[in-house]
Amino acid sequence: MEITGKTALVTGANRGLGRHLARELRDRGAVVYAAARNPASVDLPGVTPIALDVTDPDSVAAAAAQTENVAILINNAGSSTGTSLLTGDLANVRLELDTHFFGTLEVIRAFAPQLAAQGQSAVLNILSALSWISFPGSGAYCAAKSAEWSLTNALRQELAPQGTRVSALHVGYMDTDMTRNITAPKSDPAAIAKIGLDGIAAGDAEIIADEVSGQVLAGLSSGVAGLYPQLA
Ligand SMILES: NC(=O)c1ccc[n+]([C@@H]2O[C@H](COP(=O)([O-])OP(=O)(O)OC[C@H]3O[C@@H](n4cnc5c(N)ncnc54)[C@H](OP(=O)(O)O)[C@@H]3O)[C@@H](O)[C@H]2O)c1
């Protein structure tokens, strides 16, 4: 898919990976709506800030109504509360699902008609290696990312007939605010943004953006014994 000249919208575009995606789209010649809960926090020149809280249906509907010709939709907005499913606050569990699952779903549903009108269009959902493997300390986030992966696979089939290709990007840790307390090796989000857009351009259904994600994907075929050897 050609990116130059297309109109794109990125959620959570004010910081982190979303800001890199918006900048990279701009630099590749796209017209960019940089969506953020607080549009005043968008500091990138050459993009159009727009208000969008993915957990607020009225905000999602308003964003869809205020935009036109969106041919590339990137669902990037994300929360990470570090919540255990067993002992954590249920409000945080709901927040993770509201953001990653219901938020992404609501945005795709709202923009599907605009995407359909472009003839050829793309959705990129920013997923994670944690869509495929769970850690107890962040079980809520992992469950939400798994649900978002499932949503991605259902909607890629439903949107194909209207000419919308749906891609999923899987990545391990990136160096953003979300992982500021994690000391493990992290990818550069600027590099991940480039990989994501190359994937859209190539029409890839699944974009494996780093080695960790590739390893976890390979481990899926060995089931629980492969993914959670400590339980053996
Ligand atoms: N960092 C990692 O290691 C990593 C790894 C794999 C996948 N991911 C995924 O990558 C994506 C981007 O994460 P990041 O690392 O860039 O995180 P980040 O730096 O914490 O940025 C999160 C972004 O999401 C926005 N956001 C949160 N809730 C929102 C809502 N309800 N509506 C609209 N925007 C909302 C934030 O906006 P505010 O400024 O308003 O809070 C911010 O722009 C997420 O989907 C995340 O799950 C991250």
Describe the strand order of the beta sheet including 7-10 as a list of residue ranges.
48-51, 31-36, 7-10, 70-75, 121-126, 164-170, 206-208
Supply the residue whose CA is at minimum distance from atom 26 of ligand 1: 77
Q: For ligand 1, say whether the CB of 14 is within 6 Å of any of its atoms.
A: yes
Q: Quick: pLDDT tens for 159-182.
A: 999 999 999 999 999 999 999 999
Quick check: CB of 59 below 6 Å from ligand 1? no
pLDDT at 218: 95
pLDDT digits (tens, 9 = 90+) for 50-60: 999 999 999 99
Catalytic residues: 141
126 lines ligand 1 (CB under 6 A): yes
Q: Per residue in 125-134, pLDDT tens?
A: 999 999 999 9
Protein residue closest via CA to atom 35 of ligand 1 = 77
